[in-house]
Amino acid sequence: MKIDEVIIRVERELENISQVRNLHGVTTENLNSFLVRPYEVLVDPDDLETHERKMWVVITAPDMKVAFDPLTSCWSVIEEIKDNKYIQIVYGESIEEALNSM
């Protein structure tokens, strides 16, 4: 997957968001302030049951990030556990679902 494809997916997602509220302070009103240019990170999706895989970070907020997983086409809330090591906390079919899961 290329960065341009991720950007298009994010734009489509943002058009369909109706209500966001989560424990990290991300809301419908301030969501755009947390958007970042997509970049890849390695993420452990399931506590070492499978190998880490590349995901695209698209939102960065205090203590968490939202990343797109090209393998599943889902959006994951991820947290850095140490030294650029990330773990998936929750995921959803949409950015809205993933953020509201927190």
Instruction: Show contacts of 29-32: CB within 8 Å, 24+ apart.
Output: 31/59, 31/99
Q: Where are the domains of the chain?
A: 3-100
Per-residue tokens: 17: 């968001």
pLDDT tens-digit map of 24-34? 778 888 889 99
Burial group, residue 49, by CB count within 10 angstroms (0-12, 13-18, 19+)? exposed
- 46-86 confidence digits (pLDDT tens): 877 878 999 999 999 888 899 999 999 999 999 998 888 89
pLDDT band at 23 (very low <50, low <70, confident <90, very high): low
Over residues 5-16, the mean pLDDT reads 94
| Contact of 79 with 89, CB cutoff 8 Å | yes
Of the candidates 61, 62, 92, 66, the residue with the CA atom closest to the CA atom of residue 78 = 66
pTM of the model: 0.90
pLDDT at residue number 21: 74
